[in-house]
Chain A
Amino acid sequence: MEEERLKQIFGNFNPDMSPDYVFINRLKNNLETVEMIRNKNVRLKARCRRAVIVASLVGIGVGLLLAMILPTIAAAIMDYTRSVFNDTFFNVIHENSILLAGIGIAAVSMVVSLSVYELTMSWHKIDR
């Protein structure tokens, strides 16, 4: 008996709700916004990928170029330290000039890579 009453109560439960067209229009607007953000994210990802590729290529190129002149750079460091200084610290630099030149080349390549990445990202503006 009480079970029937519950079924009747819920069967008659028909509360006022916003009109269908209002609800669906609001949903359509929300979905359009979602689509817009999704498309922007896709474009942003493509842009980032492009920037990473360009930055990597430029970084590797600069690194290779500098590596080719590594002996010249190392010799220049040796000559300079030999001619100017004569204490222990600069003797260490003198003896490790190739290693130091290598570290310098790596640092320069990295800085160039990062700069190119930033530049590439700023060149391709996001479509509005």
Chain B
Amino acid sequence: MQHEQFINQVVNIRADLSRFLIGLCCGDSMLADDIAQEALIKAYLAIDKIENQDKFKSWVFRIAYNTFINNKRNRRLYLSEDELKSHQSRERSDDYFRYEELYMALNELPVTQRSVILLYYLQNYSVKEIASILTVSEDSVRQHMTRGRQQLKKLLTSN
């Protein structure tokens, strides 16, 4: 795939990818942007490995999810708890407060549950597609979905 073709495909999925990552990062849009850029570079470097061009979007989502997991692990390794908190609060924009309730509820969910919920409700992916993106079984996706949905309803109701 040519450079320009890749950029064109990215333009088509950019909004969905950013929404997914902002949700995954619980409102930290700068971090979401950084992760999106890193994920897209990885996708560009591995573009020859994609089996089906029609699945470009879900393939990029899988890379973005893995990049998010790695980033989270690295941040835990290299930043202390206090640094992480101050980093998060510093980067909260006005927009954060518009969805504060949702972000706080999402933040309470484990990462896999959060991802399943976001992919299902935000991107309308099927259980099968979610399983393929997160590289887990379909049963596991259903389990995470049920638990995440219950917890999210409880958290949003209590808020």
Which of A5-13, A47-55, A73-81, A116-124 lies at the interface with chain B? A5-13
By secondary structure, the A interface counts as: helix
Q: What residues of chain B lie closer than 8 Å to A15, measured between beta carbons?
A: 19, 22-23, 27, 29, 95, 98-99
B40 close to A (CB within 8 Å): yes
Contact A13 B19 (CB under 8 A): yes
Q: Interface 1/0s, chain B 14-42, versus A by CB < 8 A?
A: 11001100110001010011001100110
Contact partner of A30 (CB less than 8 A), chosen from B37, B99, B149, B152, is B37
Q: Interface 1/0s, chain A 1-33, versus B by CB < 8 A?
A: 011011101110111111010011011101100
Residue of B nearest to A15 (CB): B22
CA distance A11 to B102 in the complex (A): 12
By secondary structure, the B interface counts as: helix
Contact B149 A31 (CB under 8 A): no
CA distance A27 to B38 in the complex (A): 9
Contact partner of A17 (CB less than 8 A), chosen from B7, B18, B152, is B18
Interface size on A, residues (CB 8 A): 24
With A24-B14, A31-B41, A31-B44 given, is the CB distance from A16 to B29 under 8 Å?
Answer: yes
Contact partner of B7 (CB less than 8 A), chosen from A2, A9, A10, A28, is A28
**19 further interface pairs, Cβ-Cβ under 8 Å (given A11-B121, A23-B33):** A2-B153, A5-B153, A6-B121, A6-B152, A9-B102, A9-B121, A13-B99, A14-B19, A15-B19, A15-B95, A15-B98, A15-B99, A16-B93, A16-B95, A17-B15, A23-B36, A27-B10, A27-B37, A31-B3
